[in-house]
């Protein structure tokens, strides 16, 4: 026989950026795989330097980086990490971006606008990424932007398990805060086997220059309303929706979202709105100084750890969502 045979065992290695090292460490602990020691420096002129302290040749690399503010800095850091791995001969590189950056810029609304989510996908590919893993993309079409496999994980099982355990005995209705989240709310409705309601925003024809009137389509009176969204940023949409439900006789309102961006006036708005509870997953760190007493954060680390394991072992990521996931409040 010609040629040379060699033992080529797969070698999984985990890497963490600086945006949210606690999440990466939690994933590392759950997988019983140590994070690769890395030297990451931001120079005085804001340029980023990366060097890994161990050989990565031939490894299956998973680069974990969340993208809170400042998004551009953490995106650039992850791109440089991927480039460093490619140049150091990593066999396969998977970008783990729990909250995909620029996901809300997934299409052109007006002329001369960018499609920034596509640009980010292209940047990851050019840097050397073979695969992307993300949770609850703002628009499912982003899966097609990346020229390679994209594992689109769902935070719904993590959130729904918690809601079922705590509010399972309530007369509940799932509510979409606007027309854009109807499909997400429909998935929640199927999972919890409860009715669905929708909030329709329209201009008030009786008042000049009035922004919008919120019409509730569905029966919410006397019920526990579960408002669902993929993210809460400034809190405007979700708080207006909650007030509309309470005005129409809802017994209590719970908010559920995967990504806690929480920028600008989010804290003030969420605290002023009489939510029963506001539930997030830990795809992003809670911004420093944010104090929302009714907020609960569920760890997304078990889901990420299981997905990474399935990818590494050439298993099925889809199987993660055929059975219920289990998670609890973040420690």
Binding residues for D-ribose 5-phosphate: 229, 233-237
- Whole-angstrom CA distances from 145 to 79, 102, 120 are 17, 12, 9
Q: Helix or strand or coil: residue 310? A: helix
Q: How far is CA 255 from CA 134, 199, 202, 227, 242, in A?
A: 22, 14, 22, 5, 8
Distance CA(62)–CA(71), nearest Å, equals 20
Whether the bond into 70 is cis, omega within 30 of 0: yes
| 213-217 sheet: strands from edge to edge | 213-217, 196-202, 172-176, 224-232, 252-260, 277-281, 295-298
Residues annotated in a binding site: 45-47, 104-105, 138, 178, 229, 233-237
**Phi, psi for residue 154 in degrees, rounded to 5:** -115, 130
Could you tell me which residues are annotated as the binding site for ATP? 45-47, 104-105
Length of the chain, in residues? 331
| Residue carrying structure tokens 């005085």 | 44
Please enumerate in sequence order all residues whose Cβ is within 8 A of that of 112, keeping only pairs 6 or more positions apart, or say none. none
Helix (H) or strand (E) holding 28: helix 21-31
Q: Which of 86, 91, 166, 201 is catalytic?
A: 201
**99 DSSP assignment:** S
Helix axes 21-31, 301-312, angle to 10 degrees: 60
For residue 153, the SS3 value is strand
Query: What whole-number distance in Å separates Cα of residue 223 and Cα of residue 17?
Result: 43
5 is catalytic: no
The catalytic site residues sit at: 201
């Amino acid at each position: 026989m010609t040629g040379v045979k060699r033992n080529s065992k797969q070698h999984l290695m985990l890497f963490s950026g600086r945006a949210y090292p606690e999440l990466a460490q939690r994933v590392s602990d759950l997988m019983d795989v140590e994070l690769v020691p890395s030297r990451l420096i931001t120079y005085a002129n804001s340029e980023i330097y990366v060097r890994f302290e161990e050989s990565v040749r031939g490894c299956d690399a998973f680069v974990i980086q969340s993208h809170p503010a400042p998004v551009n800095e953490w995106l650039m850091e992850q791109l440089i990490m991927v480039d460093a791995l490619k140049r150091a001969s990593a066999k396969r590189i998977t970008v783990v971006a729990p909250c995909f950056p620029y996901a809300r810029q997934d299409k052109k609304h007006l002329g001369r606008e960018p499609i920034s989510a596509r640009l980010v996908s292209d940047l990851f590919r050019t840097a050397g990424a073979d695969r992307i893993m993300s949770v609850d993309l703002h628009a499912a079409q982003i899966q097609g932007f990346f020229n390679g496999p994209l594992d689109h994980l769902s935070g719904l099982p993590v959130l729904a398990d918690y809601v079922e355990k705590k509010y399972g005995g309530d007369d509940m209705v799932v509510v979409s805060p606007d027309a854009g989240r109807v499909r997400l709310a429909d998935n929640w409705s199927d999972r919890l086997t409860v009715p669905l309601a929708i909030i329709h925003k329209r201009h008030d024809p009786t008042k000049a220059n009035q922004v919008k009137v919120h019409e509730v389509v569905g029966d919410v009176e006397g019920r526990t309303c579960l408002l669902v969204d993929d993210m809460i940023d400034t809190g405007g949409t979700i708080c207006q929706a909650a007030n509309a439900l309470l005005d129409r006789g809802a017994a209590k309102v719970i908010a559920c979202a995967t990504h806690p961006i929480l920028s600008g006036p989010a804290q003030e708005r969420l605290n002023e709105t009489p939510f029963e509870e506001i539930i997030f997953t830990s795809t992003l760190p809670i911004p420093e100084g944010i104090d929302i007493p009714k907020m609960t954060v569920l760890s997304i680390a078990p889901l990420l750890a299981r997905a990474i394991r399935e990818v590494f072992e050439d298993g099925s990521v889809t199987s993660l969502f055929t059975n219920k996931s289990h998670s609890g409040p973040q420690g």
